[in-house]
Structure 1
């Protein structure tokens, strides 16, 4: 079994262990194929690439992390993407989640508030041949209104509350996946879906641990 196969097996095992929380025994086959295809080691610092296919998070610099493969797969699965979708990611980080999404949808827009991470992720993704990802340096709490509404939004850092701008930029029937909670405290992975009447259905999936979403208390730039 190679390293990628071992990671996939770990994701499958953890999916079964959390079935009572996530409501399923297996994740979408398209998501699992994307997890197998994207070279996770390319998104880690060279001295940490030995950890690339372990089922755990790892630091990527600037106080940020690349998420645990199982959580990446789960959050992607919860979006229920289609090949024609346009999705928004808040928190590009290393670009790994962007690359996973790019295998599944038509276009990924990703916003990163730490400038060096945004620049490095953009270069990395372009170097790896991803042509349907656009990375922008900025505050993702305000979304990306020029390209809204989105068929799905995924947030890769924990917010103390759900930014209203992200809800506003969801297409009817679209989903928002976001960890909610305070830094270093209990956080919950939440799933929101916009209904035809504009109401939002929400559910809590399971407990998680993410770095905090920064910029949420800032005012929009004018």
Structure 2
């Protein structure tokens, strides 16, 4: 079975299961080639709905988790998005598909990765998949955000934080949405934060498990 057929089947299953409802997100997941964001030796598992190792102690999230987080983030064409934790670049590509390519687009994704080798891997993947002009990958401490391009319409954190880093809240536009897994080493839940008319509104989403968010406002490597 081709990658395209495998992808269609898993997306249909996610729609039938209720994980996927947003037409923009469904279209993005169908368009982005996940196999190009996975080490070659693991590509045969590209459309297994499970996290996969991508090197340097990191993973690419399961397809359903990317679907859920993207739907909670609710990105729109033209949005400027900040992603914390580039990984292999897959989530950034899904976001770029929505904000930069759909409905005339015009948006951009800024993605922060602390591991320089992983950032290089992501840049190569994004270029091969056709998203390099829509995604800027920066090597930095993601807990500090990226104030050079702030404010952002949407901010997504793809690593487990003990709490929302204050710089990210500061860099979120009003109105804007932020999604992050928050908790401890063994257990997290998605926290969805909306900034609206000067107010911060929070609600909890699903339970999840992510690699740690390392940095000034996250965990230290010795803690994890």
Length-normalised TM-score, structure 1: 0.89
Q: Separation in 1 of the partners of 2:129 and 2:204?
A: 35
After superposition, residues 52-131 of structure 1 pair within 5 angstroms as 52-105=46-99, 106-130=107-131, 131=133
1:14/1:70 contact within 8 Å kept: no
Cross-structure match for 1:144:
146
Within the candidate set 31, 34, 54, 1:40 is matched to 34
Query: Residues 138 and 104 (structure 1 numbering): CA distance in 2 closer, same or farther, change over 3 Å?
Result: same
Cross-structure match for 2:208:
208
RMSD of aligned alpha carbons: 1.4
Listed one character per residue, the Cα deviations across residues 116-135 of structure 1 (whole Å, up to 9, x for unaligned) are 00111112212322111100
Structure 1 unaligned spans of 5+: 17-25
1:27/1:74 contact within 8 Å kept: no
Q: Separation in 2 of the partners of 1:154 and 1:73?
A: 13
Length-normalised TM-score, structure 2: 0.89
Consecutive aligned runs of 4 or more in structure 1 exceeding 4 Å deviation: none
Cross-structure match for 2:102:
none
Q: Separation in 1 of the partners of 2:109 and 2:191?
A: 21
Mapped pair 1:6 → 2:9? yes
Query: Residues 216 and 159 (structure 1 numbering): CA distance in 2 closer, same or farther, change over 3 Å?
Result: farther
Q: Separation in 1 of the partners of 2:56 and 2:13?
A: 28
Structure 2 unaligned spans of 5+: 100-106, 219-224
Query: Residues 189 and 29 (structure 1 numbering): CA distance in 2 closer, same or farther, change over 3 Å?
Result: same
Number of aligned pairs? Answer: 207
Q: Separation in 1 of the partners of 2:83 and 2:125?
A: 16
Within the candidate set 156, 159, 171, 1:157 is matched to 159
Describe the SS at the equivalent of 1:93.
coil
Aligned-pair CA distance for 1:217: 4.5
